[in-house]
Structure 1
C-alpha cells in the first residue's frame, strides 16, 4: 500500500507500540503509558486534520473521523488511568504495546474501505485481549474469561473470513463499495455480507450471538474492561456502520437482531443478581439499541455513530469507577466509595444513570436520537421497543444505586488521589456532551 496522509494515525500508533514492546528490556517500561497516551493524542490530532481524505483503502469520512478521534483519546485516557493501577506494574511496556496494537486495529476497523484491511484490523484488535484478560496478577477467573473470549473471537474471525471469501467469489472484489453494484448484488455476496454481520454481532455481543458475555465481564479485570467495552466495541460498531452504509439490504436482518437483543438483554440483565454480570447482559441490550439505529436508513447511520460514541464514554466512566473495587465485588459499596473517592463515585453514578437513559443525561439524548431515526424511517415498532426496553432497564440500573453493600475490609478499596482528577475530567466531558448532543439534534 502506498503512503498517504490517511495512514499517518496508524504509523504513529504502530511506531509507539514497537517502542513499548522493547521498553521492558531497556528498563523503560514505566515511561511507556505516558508515551502511549501522547502517541494516541497525536493520532487523534492527525485524524482530525486529515478528515474527509480519501486514501488507499482508508477513508476518514464524518463518522470514521468522529469515532477515530474518540478511540484515540479514549485510549490515551485509559493508558493514563491504569498507570496508577497495580496490574500495570508487571511488564508495563508489553502492556502498553498490546493496547496500542489494539488501537491500531480499531482505527483500521472504523476507516477501512477494503474487507481484507477490515479483517486485519479485527485481528489486531482481538488478539491482544487474549493476553490482557489473563494478565499476570489477575486471578483464575480472568484466565477463564480470556479462554472464553478466545473461543468467541476465533469463531467471529472464522465467520468473517468465510464472509470475505463468499463476497470475493461473487464479484471478485474486496472493496466495501465494489466498482460494479454493491456486495449483495448476487447470492454469494448476500451470503457473505450476512456472514460478516454475524461475525461482527459476535464481537458486540448482540443476540443470539451473546454467549459467555456475562462470564467475560465477570472474570475480566475491571481496568481492561475499560478498553474492551469503551474502545474495542466502539470500533466494531464503526465497522458495522461502514458495512451497513454500503449495503442497505441489511436493514431487515439488523432490525430482527436489534429487537432480539433489546428484549433478551434486558430480561437477562434484570435476572443477573451480580453487578458485572448485569453490565455484561445489559451490553446485549445496548448492542440492540445501536443496531436499531442502523436499521433506520441514512439518518440512522449518524445516530448510530453518536450512540456508539456515547456508549463508549459511559463504559469508560463505569469501569474506571469499578476499577477501585475488589474484583469479586457483586455490588457497589457506595458508603465506602463515597468516603474514600467521592468524585469517582459521582462519575460512576452518573454513567450508570446515563446507561439507563435517565433524562436529561447524555445517554437519554443518544437513545432519543435513535428513536427519532426509527420514527423517521417509519419503523414505529422498533422505536416503541427501544422506549420500553429503556424504561425497563431502570429496574436493574437503579437497583445498583440503592442496593446495600458493605465492604468487609475498606482497605481493599484502591485509593488513588490521581483518579479523582480523572473522574472530575470525566464528569466535565459528560456535561459537555450533555450540552453538545442536544445541540446537534436541533
Structure 2
C-alpha cells in the first residue's frame, strides 16, 4: 500500500505501539502511557487535518473523521486515566502497546472502504482484549470474562470472514462500494452482507447476538471497560455506519435487530439486580437505539454517528467512575464515593442520567435525534419503541442513584487526586455537548 496522508494516523499509532512493546525490556514502561496519550492526540490532529483525502482504501469522510478524532482523544484520556490505577503497574509498556494496537484497529474500522482491510481492523481491535480482560492482578472472574469474550470474538471474526468470501464470490470485488452496483446486487452478496451484519452485531452485543455480555461486564476490570465501551464499541458502530450507508437493502434487517435489542436489553437490565450486569444488558438496548438510526436512510446515518459519539462519551465517564470502586461491587456506595472522590461521583451520576436519556442531558438529545430521523422516514413504530424503551430504562438507571450500597470499609475505594481533574474535564465536555446539542438539531 503506497503512502498517503490518510495513513499518517495509523503510522503514528503503530510506531508508538511498537516502542511501547519494547519499553518494558528497557525499563521505560512507566513513561509509555504518556507517550501513548501524546501519540493518540497527534493521530487525532492528523485525522482532522487530512480528513477529506481519499487514499488507498481509507477515506476520512465526515462520520469517519468525527469518530476517528473521538477515538484517538478517548484513547489518550483513557491512557492518562489508568496511569494512576494499580493494574497499570504491571508490564506497563505491554499494556500501552495493546491499547494502541486496539486504537489502530479502531481507526481502520471507521475509515476502511475495503472489506479485507476492515477485517484486519476488526482483528487488531479484538485480539488485544483477550489479554487486557485477563490482565495480571485483575482476579479470577476476569479470566472467565476473557474466555467468553474470546469465544464470541472468534465467532464474530469467523462470521465476518464468511461474509467477505460470499461477497467476493458474488461480484469478485472486496470494495465496500463496488464499481458495479452494490454488494447486495446478487444472492451471494446479500447473504455475505447479512453475515457481516451478524458479525458486527455480535461485537456491539445487539440482540439476539448478546450472549454472555453481562458476564463479560461483570468480570472484566472496570478500567478496561473504559476502552471496551468507550472506544471498541464506537469503532464497531463506525463500521456499521459504513456498511449501512453502502447497502440500503439492509434497512429492514437492521430495524428488526434494533427493535429486538431495545426490548430484550431493557427487560434484562431491569431484572439484573447487579450494577455491572445492568450496564451490560443496557448496552444491548443502546445498540438497539443506535441501529434504529441506521435503519432509516441518510438522516439516520448522521444520527447514528452522533449517537455513537455520545454513547462513547457516556461509557467513558461511567467506567471512569466505577474504576474507583471495588471490583465486586454490586451497587454504588454513593456516600463513600462522594466523600473520597466527589467530582468523580458527580461525573458518574451525570453519565448514568445521560445513559437513561434524562432531559436535558446529552444522551437525551442523542436519542431525540434518532427519533427525529425515524419519524422523518415514517418509521413511526421504531420511534415509539425508542421513546418507550428510554422511559422504561429510568426504572433501573435511577435505582442505581436512590438505592446505594453501604461500604463497610471506605478505604477500599481507590483515591487518586488526579482523577478529580479527569472527572472535572469530563463534566465540562458533557456540559459543552449539552449546550451544542440543541444547535445541531436546528
- Fold shared by both chains (TM-score > 0.5): yes
Q: Secondary structure at 1:335's aligned position in 2?
A: helix
Deviations 1:117-156 (A, max 9, x none): 0000000000000000000000000000000000000000
Aligned to 2:152: 152
Deviations 1:74-121 (A, max 9, x none): 000000000000000000000000000000000000000000000000
Aligned to 2:276: 276
1 CA distance for matches of 2:73 and 2:408?
A: 36
How far is the alpha carbon of 1:438 from its aligned partner? 1.5
1 CA distance for matches of 2:131 and 2:342?
A: 32
Aligned to 2:438: 438
2 CA distance for matches of 1:50 and 1:303?
A: 23
Deviations 1:385-439 (A, max 9, x none): 0000000000000000010311111110000000000000000000011011221
The number of residues matched between the two structures is 442
Deviations 1:162-181 (A, max 9, x none): 00000000000000000000
Q: Runs ≥4 in structure 1, deviation > 2 angstroms? A: none
TM-score by length of 1: 1.00
Question: CA RMSD, aligned part only?
Answer: 0.3
2 CA distance for matches of 1:52 and 1:358?
A: 36
Aligned to 1:60: 60
Q: Secondary structure at 2:268's aligned position in 1?
A: helix
Q: Secondary structure at 1:378's aligned position in 2?
A: coil
2 CA distance for matches of 1:302 and 1:294?
A: 9
1 CA distance for matches of 2:398 and 2:38?
A: 37
How far is the alpha carbon of 1:339 from its aligned partner? 0.5
TM-score by length of 2: 1.00
Deviations 1:344-388 (A, max 9, x none): 000000000000000000000000000000000000000000000
How far is the alpha carbon of 1:188 from its aligned partner? 0.2
Aligned to 2:403: 403
Q: Secondary structure at 2:245's aligned position in 1?
A: helix
1 CA distance for matches of 2:200 and 2:438?
A: 29
How far is the alpha carbon of 1:52 from its aligned partner? 1.4
2 CA distance for matches of 1:373 and 1:50?
A: 29
1 CA distance for matches of 2:118 and 2:157?
A: 11
Q: Secondary structure at 1:173's aligned position in 2?
A: coil
Structure 1: any 5+ residue segments left out of the alignment?
none
Residue correspondence of structure 1 range 7-406 to structure 2 within 5 A: 7-406=7-406
1 CA distance for matches of 2:306 and 2:182?
A: 26
Structure 2: any 5+ residue segments left out of the alignment?
none
